[in-house]
Amino acid sequence: NSMLDEMLKANQTINAHGLDNYQS
């Protein structure tokens, strides 16, 4: 389920670096 994997990866990145950094 690659879509779920992508979502989990993005969730982790946002958790580690913050939503602000993820979006900019």
Partner 1 sequence: TPPITTFVQQLFPHGVPQAQASNYSSADTAVLLTLLADSKQQDLHANILETLGYIGDETTVAPIVAYIQGGRGVISAAQFRAKSSGLLALGYILNRNPNSSALLYLTDSLDHQTWQARDIAWTTAFFPDLISRDVQLVRQAAVGMTLSGSPQAAAALKRKLSP
Site membership for partner 1, residue 24 (CB under 8 A): yes
Q: Is there a contact between 10 and 18 (Cβ–Cβ < 8 Å)?
A: no
DSSP annotation of 4: H
Both structure tokens of 19:
């939503």
Q: How far is the CB of 12 from partner 1 (least distance, A)?
A: 7
Q: How far is the CB of 16 from partner 1 (least distance, A)?
A: 8
- Name the CA radius of gyration of the chain, rounded: 9
Site membership for partner 1, residue 23 (CB under 8 A): yes
Site membership for partner 1, residue 2 (CB under 8 A): no
Both structure tokens of 21:
């950094």
Judged by CB under 8 A, the number of residues near partner 1 is: 17
